[in-house]
Amino acid sequence: MAQHRRRPHAPAALVLVLVLATACGPAEEAGTASKTAPAPSPSVSATATANGVARLRAGQILRRARKATAAARYLRMRGRIEDGKDKIAIDFRYAGKTEATGWFQTGKQRVEITRIGRDIYVKGNDPFWKSIGGKAAVQLLSGKYLKTTTKTPDFKDIGIFTERTGLLNEALKAPGTWKKGETGTAGGTPAVSLTRAPGETIQVATQGEPYVLALTGGPGNGVEYLAYEEPVDVRRPPAGTVVDGDAFK
What is the DSSP track for 15-70?
HHHHHT--------STTTS-TTPPPP--SS-TTPPB-SGGGS-HHHHHHHHHHHHH
C-alpha distances out from residue 93 to 22, 127, 135, 181, 205, Å: 18, 24, 31, 29, 19
Residue 164: band (very low, low, confident or very high) from pLDDT cuts 50, 70, 90: confident
A 10 A CB-CB count for 176 gives 11
The string of pLDDT tens digits covering residues 169-179 is 777 777 788 99
Residue 153: band (very low, low, confident or very high) from pLDDT cuts 50, 70, 90: confident
Q: What percent of the chain has pLDDT over 70?
A: 78
Residue 145 has pLDDT above 90, yes or no: yes
- Among positive and negative, which fits the CA dihedral 61, 66, 68, 74? positive
pLDDT score of 248 = 59
- Closest C-alpha among 99, 89, 73 to residue 35: 89
Coil, strand or helix at 11: coil
For all residues of the chain together, what is the average pLDDT?
80
Residues 138 and 159: their CA atoms lie apart, in Å, by 21
The string of pLDDT tens digits covering residues 72-113 is 999 999 988 776 677 889 999 999 989 999 999 988 999 999
* Burial track 138-158 (b if 16+ CB lie within 10 A, e otherwise): beebeebbbbbeeeeebbebb
- Looking at residues 193-216, what average pLDDT do you find? 91
Residues 6 and 13: their CA atoms lie apart, in Å, by 18
